[in-house]
Amino acid sequence: MRNGVPSPGPVIRTVLGDIEPARAGHTQPHEHVLSDMSAIIKPWGVGHVSAAHAVADAPGGGVEPELSVTARRLAEQPVELANYDAIRREVLNLDNLRLTSEDDAIAELELYRRAGGGCVVDSSPIGMGRDPIGLARVSRSTGVHIVMGSGYYSRQYHPTGLDQVSEAAISAEIVSDLTEGAGSTEVRAGIIGEIGLSWPPHPTELKVLRAACQAQVATGAALQIHPGRDPRAPIEAMAVVEKYGADPGRTIMSHVDRTLWAPEDLTALAETGCYLELDLFGQESSYYAFNPDARRPNDRTRIEWLATLTDQGFGAKLLVSQDICQKVYLRKYGGPGYGHVLANVIPLMRRMGFTATDVRRLTVENPAAALSLERMNR
């Protein structure tokens, strides 16, 4: 609705209101602007941390169930040049996992805007420090359109008692976030997700996914899924989507570039009709704390996968992003910043044979189509 008049066509719902999809421009559909992922490091007395339930879905056993004294010391340090490499590899650092500074967010998104960015999705759901009012301030200050997420992340981030909340109540909460406003605010979400799943999925996570499917049916909003860290996870999640009546074509499977390593698995997922989101551009490392057995590609390999999937006829269902959720990936701390796709990936795509039309489809047209809302309460 614009000035009290229902919008005549599809819109993208941002934290400052609805916009026409054509106004979004270059869009990165999976980022975190204001978020706090430090819940993965469980408190153990004042000034101490452990990871008793840090990561339990990695096939290779994941992170140690308890942090050593050395690891605890690293977890408590501020991010700085001397520990940057260790934190980038180990991840479990309280300061690193907290993107809580609006000043930093404004500075980083201003750089993104200057590089040509128009819109980002903040995929932080409830439990990750989602900040509707803060996101609105950042968007207003930078001129970057921000789409806010809704729902719940994986079990480490669930509020106490969520296992007792009914599926219908969770679905109603998501719908309200999208149509009325998040919590006590009037700032509305524009996407369902990212809905977090572990491997194997926890029963409460599956309940949340079913509720998210119901909300997707009710609103038509895109459903963004964070799959467990196992190659079987995306297809199993899509089976739930189909079983509970959600639209596979309005579903975004995140993090496929850390989950699927075989070309045939990428093709099989694409055949379900969902969007395949390669959203870890700029994160190039063989050392992945959340799953030591994962084979994470570099950006050139990601682009090769995009080319193969495009040749197979799935070009309209591909999305690219960076999933910045740690300080080490911000420009201020020596990382690539939100503008990495614009500054580095797109030129590499062009050198590797992508046309300007191909790039526009990946970075402008596909995310606009995924985020567009047709029938939801305006």
Has 255 been labeled as part of a binding site? yes
Per DSSP, 120 falls in state E
30 is in an annotated binding site: yes
Per DSSP, the residues of 311-366 read IIIIGGGEEE-----SGGGSGGGTS--TTHIIIIIHHHHHHTT--HHHHHIIIIIH
The β-bridge relationship of strands 98-99 and 17-19 is unpaired
Please tell me the distance from the alpha carbon of residue 82 to that of residue 330, in angstroms, as a whole number: 16
Q: How far apart are CA 105 and CA 311, in angstroms?
A: 37
Residue 53 labeled ligand binder: no
DSSP string of 163-209, one letter each residue: GGS-HHHHHHHHHHHHHT-STTSSPPP-SEEEEE--SSPPHHHHHHH
Residue that has been written with the tokens 């997700």 in this structure: 193
How many whole angstroms separate alpha carbon 356 and alpha carbon 273?
25
Is 32 flagged in the annotation as binding? yes
* Token output for 6: 């229902």
26 belongs to an annotated ligand binding site: no
Burial of 358 (0-12, 13-18, 19+ CB in 10 A): middle
Is-contact 288 294, C-beta < 8 A?
A: yes
Phi, psi (5° rounding) for residue 204?
-70, -35
- Show the CA angle centred on residue 21, arms to residues 17 and 273, nearest 5°: 115
Residue 48 is labelled as binding a ligand: no
Which DSSP state fits 155? G
DSSP 13-64: EETTEEE-GGGS-EEEEEE-SSEE-GGGSEE-STT-EE-TTS----TT--S-
Residue of 251, 263, 253 lying closest to 227 (CA atoms): 253
User: Which residues are part of a known binding site for a divalent metal cation?
Assistant: 30, 32, 194, 226, 255, 323
Going by the annotation, the residues of the binding site are: 30, 32, 194, 226, 255, 323
